[in-house]
Structure 1
Amino acid sequence: MDAVVKNFPPQDNSGRPTQKEAEDAVRLLLRWAGDNPEREGLRDTPARVTKAYKELFSGYELDADDVLGRTFEEVAGYDEMVLVKDIPFFSHCEHHMVPIIGKAHVAYLPNGRVLGLSKIARVVEIYGRRLQTQETMTAQIAKAIDDSLRPRGVAVMIEAEHMCMAMRGVQKQGSTTLTTTFTGVFKAEPAEQVRFMTMLRGR
């Protein structure tokens, strides 16, 4: 019985596969694709891929609440829109695991407290570095800021190109998908959505 147990690869407490199991999975895919994982050019590829994936999907290791935990109350009465636009991000489609490349635009209406501007970009990165749909990512960013800051409203717009459309399937390069989420005042008052769009487009 002990011999059987020893044949099982060890796993960490999270239940995730080990590094070796992940690298073996990459080797299997290389073989499935028709190549030889033992040839010189591919010999180190499994280790490189798992290292890259650790970075590309690092959002699973991070919590948006931790990033958004610190706010500032000394705002001298400022209660107008705060907009951070053109935040670049790279994500991966959860259906085909190919890149999503885009920009996020995030605004909120303060309710006595404001966030450090870099925190908004960090939240975009946290949700971007996961397997995603654009619709889900848009809603997640808005909810994280809404829950943590409790502003009068949040507006999020994401514009992105999906490589699952550009590289495979219909193969339509350059097409852009746009998604929005509005909460609070932005949702209740269409005029605030118009103001958000006007500021976003710089008119």
Structure 2
Amino acid sequence: MSISSAPPPELLDFEDPVTGDSSIDLPRAQAAVAELLRALGRDDNDPHLRDTPRRVAAAYAQMLTPRETSWTTFPNDDGYQGLVLVKDIPFNSLCQHHLLPFRGVAHVGYLPGERLFGLSKLARGVELFARDLQVQERLTQQLANWLEDTLSPRGVGVVMEAEHMCMSLRGVQTAGTLTRTSVFTGLLSDAGPLREQFPH
């Protein structure tokens, strides 16, 4: 499909690929943004702001809707026992307290049992949970739980590092500060050479 044939943002279907729900009401979101602009003392009839409600509603809808994907696994026929680790997976999410972005990288790995994931699925899994109103701690735990539930591996490790705009742009205004969260389960719960492969 060429770029020119893509539908405009207000016509895109922002259906949740996990639940199948289409809970994003774009016209209502646009009206809310227009009201917010007025409440902030801005003239939403200003030529520069006239299209802002539509743009903001479409932007949030996109940031809150992961791409549809399937979670097929395949058998670990060769009995691979080593660590599968994908580092530096970029992600963007939205702070549920301020609706401001936080962004960073995720390092996601597991010790296989009987099933394996394609490597791209680890990056897609990060996107799945990041495209929501989140806190980093919950996001990290959700990724670990998802791997445990989907693969029944011998161990899981998830480390996330992110800068939060709600700290950088407001409040203490500490630009460049990174927050690191981690979850380790199973054979990765204890310190050792396998766990040392994760950033620390």
What's 1:88 paired with?
90
**Which entry has the higher C-alpha Rg, 1 or 2?**
1
Instruction: Please tell me whether residue 102 in structure 1 is matched to residue 104 in structure 2.
Output: yes
Q: Over residues 36-85 of structure 1, what are the superposed CA-to-partner deviations in whole Å (9 max), with x where a residue is unaligned?
A: 111111111111111111110004x86xxx633x1111542211000000
> After TM superposition, where is structure 1 displaced by more than 3 Å over at least 4 residues in a row?
14-18
Alignment of 1:64-83 (within 5 A): 67-68=70-71, 70-83=72-85
Shift of 1:20: 2.1
Larger relative helix fraction: 1
Retained in 2: the 8 A contact 1:81–1:109? yes
Structure 1 alignment gaps of length 5 or more: 1-13
Letter of the 1:77 counterpart: G
Q: Among residues 48, 65, 73, which one is paired with 2:55 in the alignment?
A: 48
Partner secondary structure for residue 100 of structure 1: strand
Q: TM-score, normalised by structure 2?
A: 0.84
Retained in 1: the 8 A contact 2:108–2:159? yes
What's 1:9 paired with?
none
Aligned residues: 180
What's 1:171 paired with?
173
Instruction: Please tell me whether residue 133 in structure 1 is matched to residue 135 in structure 2.
Output: yes
What's 1:196 paired with?
195
Letter of the 2:166 counterpart: C
Q: Over residues 73-120 of structure 1, what are the superposed CA-to-partner deviations in whole Å (9 max), with x where a residue is unaligned?
A: 154221100000000001011110101011000010001221000000
In structure 2, the CA distance between the partners of 1:74 and 1:142, relative to structure 1 (3 Å rule), is: closer
What's 1:31 paired with?
38
Alignment of 1:145-156 (within 5 A): 145-156=147-158
What's 1:7 paired with?
none
Retained in 2: the 8 A contact 1:79–1:112? no
Letter of the 2:26 counterpart: Q
What's 2:65 paired with?
58
